[in-house]
Amino acid sequence: MKIVEATLFALGIPFVEAFAHSVRSRNSSDSIVVRLRAEDGTVGYGEAVARPYVTGETVASCLQFMERTLWPGVQAFDYPNWSGQEPIPWLRALAVPTGHSDKVVVNAGGMAAESVVAWNAARCGFELALVDCLLKSAGVSLGELLPPRRSVTYSGVITASSIEGAVKHAKRFKQFGLPHLKVKITGEADYERLAAIRAAVGPQVSLRVDGNGAYTVESAIATCEALAEFQIDSAEQMIPRGDPQDLARVQAASVMAQMADESLITLADAKALIEAGACRGFNLRLSKCGGLGPTLAIADLAQTAGIQVQVGCQVGETAILSAAGRHLAAYLPEISFCEGSYGSLLLREDLSRRPIHFGHQGLAKPLKVPGLGVEIQDALLEKYAEQIITLPTQVA
Ligand SMILES: [Mg+2]
């Protein structure tokens, strides 16, 4: 199946409330939605969330890379329709072909190509749009390829706002029955923050922390030790991305399970982390890891190595990434925690016709509608787009 048309929507959907962690605070979603049209008229949607402090991509460089590098490859390719093949190889065959072009120098938004770890957000945007398009064309749900093993239980994530604000959020999540909470920490008053949250939610709720690389090896070890009394299930990315041996030092000195997030972008990262014994958990995020195919490959490796996986999300993601994340979380053999599907809890309006956010106790059922399982409203794409780019179609 040939893809004949592509449109990029760089969005700015306002948040209901600002969300902060140690690196940044944001007030709106800056997702890029990729809309592809196949030669049979079927339309599919994918989503990329560019994060300069994660993969090195910015919205501007991501748009350029999609237009100059990915789109020519996608246009030239004849994609295999889904007709009952082995799902994982089929998904991996959708990896957007680029040849040497990952090396193409893109310099936009102040971000030079050399500082890009991988163009994974851009690739994820195209890969998900291809999956959605090709499966819709075949009338098949992604859930038929990746059969769900369970319903999914979502965690609440608590922004690094004031301690009073964090406690307010924790109480709201607890009222909603969420059994798992992740707390963003910054190195300032972490003990007081966790003490207040633990007191507010009681002993039954599972708590974990995410430092977004704000700590040194020494301060990470000290913080994990200080917070251990609050029964923290995992400490995510305490130190910045770097030598896996540094994270291994934190893990070796801490009783708390370390979870790699920004340190885990590529399959090579996963191998290096496992080899170094750097952590006990991986946070898998589709936009960070390059889409379903590459993320499943990392999950495979983790399972073999006895590393726990968590399915994470992007702050401000829309129903598209949330739906893909739901399929992934429902399919994987074992996950420790799952995040995402926050929809209109965070976004003023989400893109799907029917909400896909979770219900009471964080529970959500697998999605069964063809493609990724969301019906995207083009009118909302247009309403919230700060930029709409129709990519040039090459004449064969
Ligand atoms: Mg994280």
pLDDT at 99: 46
What tens digit of pLDDT does each residue of 39-83 get? 999 999 999 999 999 999 999 999 999 999 999 999 999 999 889
* Structural domain contains residue 355: yes
Which is it for strands 308-311 and 43-48: parallel, antiparallel or unpaired? unpaired
Q: Give yes or no for residue 105 having a pLDDT over 50.
A: no
Say if residue 216 is in the same domain as residue 321: yes
pLDDT at 98: 56
Contacts of 175 (CB under 8 A, 6+ apart): none
pLDDT at 95: 78
The alpha-helical segments, DSSP class H, found in 230-376 are: 244-253, 267-276, 286-289, 292-305, 319-331
User: Burial letters for 122-137: b for 16+ Cβ neighbours within 10 Å, e otherwise?
Assistant: bbbbbbbbbbbbbbbb
Q: How far is the CA of 282 from the centre of ligand 1 (A)?
A: 10
Say if residue 297 is in the same domain as residue 256: yes
Say if residue 355 is in the same domain as residue 383: no
Running DSSP on this structure, what letter comes out for residue 361? G
pLDDT at 101: 45
* Structural domain contains residue 370: no
Closest CA to 338 of 284, 257, 258: 284
pLDDT at 93: 85
Q: How far is the CA of 211 from the centre of ligand 1 (A)?
A: 7
DSSP secondary structure of 56-119: S--HHHHHHHIIIIIHHHHHH--PPPPSS--HHHHHHTTSPP-GGGGGS--EETTEEGGG-S--
pLDDT at 25: 87
Q: Between 115 and 371, name the one with better pLDDT.
A: 371
Q: How far is the CA of 141 from the centre of ligand 1 (A)?
A: 29
* Structural domain contains residue 147: no
Say if residue 158 is in the same domain as residue 288: yes
Q: How far is the CA of 19 from the centre of ligand 1 (A)?
A: 13
Say if residue 79 is in the same domain as residue 163: no
Q: How far is the CA of 287 from the centre of ligand 1 (A)?
A: 13
* Structural domain contains residue 146: no
Closest CA to 367 of 156, 168, 191, 136: 136
Cross-sheet strand order for the sheet of 43-48: 43-48, 32-38, 3-11, 385-390
Q: How far is the CA of 113 from the centre of ligand 1 (A)?
A: 23
8 A C-beta contact, residue 363 and residue 369: no
Q: Give yes or no for residue 112 having a pLDDT over 70.
A: no
Q: How far is the CA of 263 from the centre of ligand 1 (A)?
A: 10
The alpha-helical segments, DSSP class H, found in 284-391 are: 286-289, 292-305, 319-331, 378-384
Report the residue count for the chain. 396
* Structural domain contains residue 396: no
Say if residue 172 is in the same domain as residue 297: yes
Say if residue 129 is in the same domain as residue 157: no
CA atoms within 13 Å, Cβ hemisphere of 220: 30
Running DSSP on this structure, what letter comes out for residue 204? S
Under the banding of pLDDT at 50, 70 and 90, the label for residue 110 is: very low
pLDDT at 72: 92
pTM of the shown model: 0.95
* Structural domain contains residue 102: yes
What tens digit of pLDDT does each residue of 269-303 get? 999 999 999 999 999 999 999 999 999 999 999 99
* Structural domain contains residue 395: no
Q: How far is the CA of 210 from the centre of ligand 1 (A)?
A: 6
Q: How far is the CA of 262 from the centre of ligand 1 (A)?
A: 7
pLDDT at 18: 87
34 beta partners: 8, 46
pLDDT at 259: 98
Q: Give yes or no for residue 106 having a pLDDT over 80.
A: no
Average pLDDT of every residue of the chain: 93
Q: How far is the CA of 235 from the centre of ligand 1 (A)?
A: 10
Say if residue 180 is in the same domain as residue 43: no
Q: How far is the CA of 261 from the centre of ligand 1 (A)?
A: 5
Under the banding of pLDDT at 50, 70 and 90, the label for residue 248 is: very high
Say if residue 275 is in the same domain as residue 322: yes
pLDDT at 140: 96
CA distances from 211 to 112, 121, 183 (A): 26, 22, 9
Kindly report the number of other CB atoms within 10 A of residue 113's CB atom: 17
Closest CA to 18 of 165, 209, 212, 210: 165
CA 188 to CA 273: how far, in whole Å?
28
What tens digit of pLDDT does each residue of 302-347 get? 999 999 999 999 999 999 999 999 999 999 999 999 999 999 889 9
Say if residue 180 is in the same domain as residue 123: no
- How large is the average pLDDT for residues 83-88? 90
Q: Give yes or no for residue 134 having a pLDDT over 60.
A: yes
Kindly report the number of other CB atoms within 10 A of residue 329's CB atom: 29
Q: Give yes or no for residue 100 having a pLDDT over 80.
A: no
Q: How far is the CA of 322 from the centre of ligand 1 (A)?
A: 16
Q: What is the CA 388 to chain-centroid distance, rounded?
A: 23
Q: How far is the CA of 314 from the centre of ligand 1 (A)?
A: 9
Kindly report the number of other CB atoms within 10 A of residue 251's CB atom: 26
Q: How far is the CA of 139 from the centre of ligand 1 (A)?
A: 35
pLDDT at 395: 64
Domain of 25: which CATH number? 3.30.390.10
Residue 119 is part of which domain span?
A: 3-140+375-390
Say if residue 318 is in the same domain as residue 386: no
Q: How far is the CA of 259 from the centre of ligand 1 (A)?
A: 9
Domain of 350: which CATH number? 3.20.20.120
What tens digit of pLDDT does each residue of 343-368 get? 988 999 999 999 989 999 999 999 99
pLDDT at 394: 76
Q: How far is the CA of 46 from the centre of ligand 1 (A)?
A: 22
pLDDT at 211: 97
What tens digit of pLDDT does each residue of 167-188 get? 999 999 999 999 999 999 999 9
Under the banding of pLDDT at 50, 70 and 90, the label for residue 190 is: very high
Task: Give the chain's domain count.
Answer: 2
Q: Between 94 and 377, name the one with better pLDDT.
A: 377
Say if residue 307 is in the same domain as residue 379: no
* Structural domain contains residue 272: yes
Q: Give yes or no for residue 241 having a pLDDT over 70.
A: yes
Closest CA to 211 of 231, 229, 232, 197: 232
